[in-house]
A = this chain, B = another copy of it.
């Protein structure tokens, strides 16, 4: 009982209320309500929702910590905690003195974060792309399932060859729902940029946040022989990627067939 904090009843009957607020706070647009749990997490989840629905364009900053704190009716430190989490999750990026921004795609991020194939010399460069075709067609069974769209829904398919070190090294097929990317199917081959995720973001407001890759070894087939110059039956690396947005909706299917004679997939386990 020599505790400076005084006597704290140990078996406190009152459970923590689902939502608490700073006492005198006017509680702006009461948005810290869902679920319960720690305040900072409620704030975080609300911010994720708002970012997911495209409320903050990547060009200008989120409201300052002060303003967010006032809006949510919590202390600035709590907002800070939430924002720190968002930084950890690669959702936002902060610049001291400038503000906090939704983490946008660009050559930098795409090369280091979403592209794991590295040339034999160890250089990490983003390969040049040669688009073979851009097609609009109906999804097959597997595609509809993976993209969580109704069967027979329209999709856009992009096929391209990517060069690394002046060699055709990757044969890539990309499938996205037509509904999410209007006009993409009508884009001329020459207009398809190298960094697709940046295109998704800038032109269609779709931000790729997460991707799952399934990697297997395959024997080279007809197309691989044609486009990659492999011998028939030669081993190649097949990477099947499903890319998702912030809210977990799958929006892109990508299969990359790689000649790994001068190339390797790198994975860092931290």
Give chain A's interface residues, CB within 8 Å of chain B. Answer: 88-90, 113-114, 116, 209-219, 233-237, 258, 260, 263-270
Q: A116-B269, A217-B218 are in contact. List 6 more A-B contacts (CB 8 A).
A: A88-B88, A211-B268, A211-B269, A212-B266, A214-B264, A235-B236
The 5 closest A-B pairs by CB, nearest first: A235-B235, A217-B235, A216-B260, A215-B265, A211-B269
Number of copies of this chain in the oligomer?
Answer: 2
Main secondary structure of the interface of A (DSSP, over half): strand
Q: Which of B113, B218, B264, B265 contacts A235 (CB 8 A)?
A: B218
Given A210-B269, A235-B235, are A216 and B264 also a contact pair (CB < 8 Å)? yes
Given A235-B235, A235-B236, A236-B235, are A266 and B213 also a contact pair (CB < 8 Å)? yes
Asked if A268 and B216 make an inter-chain contact with CB atoms under 8 angstroms apart, the answer reads no
Q: In the complex, which residues of chain B have a beta carbon less than 8 angstroms from the beta carbon of A266? A: 212-215
Given A233-B233, A235-B235, A236-B235, are A216 and B265 also a contact pair (CB < 8 Å)? yes
